[in-house]
Amino acid sequence: MKTILVTGGTGFIGSHTCVELLNDNYNIVIIDDFSNSKPEVAEKIMKITNKKVKLYEGNVCDTELLTKIFKENQIDAVIHFAGYKAVGESVAKPLMYYRNNIDSTLTLLEVMSDNNCKKIVFSSSATVYGNPERLPLDESCHLSATNPYGATKLYIEGILKDLYISDNEWSIAVLRYFNPVGAHESGLIGENPNGIPNNLVPYIVKVANKELPELNIFGNDYNTPDGTGVRDYIHVVDLARGHVKSVEKIFEESGIDYYNLGTGKGYSVLDLVKTFESVNNIKIPYKIVARRKGDVAACFASTNHAKEKLNWEATLTLEDMLRSAYLYSKVIKKGY
Q: Which CB, 111 or 261, lies closer to ligand WQD?
A: 261
Smallest separation (angstroms) from ligand WQD to the CB of 66 = 24
- Give the end-to-end CA distance of the chain in Å, rounded to a whole number: 31
Answer yes or no: 149 catalytic. Answer: yes
* DSSP secondary structure code for residue 294 in this structure: T
Residue 295 to residue 126: CA distance in whole angstroms:
13
CB 199, CB 251: distance < 8 Å: no
Q: Which residues contact 8 (CB under 8 A, 6 or more apart)?
A: 14, 31, 32, 37, 60, 80, 81, 82, 83, 123
Residue 295's Cα: distance from chain center in Å?
Answer: 19
Nearest approach in angstroms of CB 154 to ligand WQD is 12
The residue at minimum Cβ distance from ligand WQD is 229
Q: Of the two residues 163 and 284, which places its CB atom closer to ligand WQD in the complex?
A: 284
Return residues touching ligand WQD (CB under 6 A): 85, 87, 125, 127, 177, 179, 198-200, 203, 216-218, 229, 231, 269, 292, 295
Residue 170 Cβ vs ligand WQD, minimum distance, rounded to whole Å = 24
Instruction: CB nearer to ligand WQD: give 269 or 279.
Output: 269
Nearest distance, CB of residue 325 and ligand WQD, angstroms: 12
- Please, which residue, 75 or 157, has the CB nearer to ligand WQD? 157
Q: Which candidate in 84, 97, 149, 233 is catalytic?
A: 149
Query: Regarding beta strands 27-32 and 54-57, do their DSSP bridges make them parallel or antiparallel, or are they unpaired?
Result: parallel
Q: What are phi and psi of 299, to 5 degrees?
A: -155, 115
**Residues with catalytic function:** 149
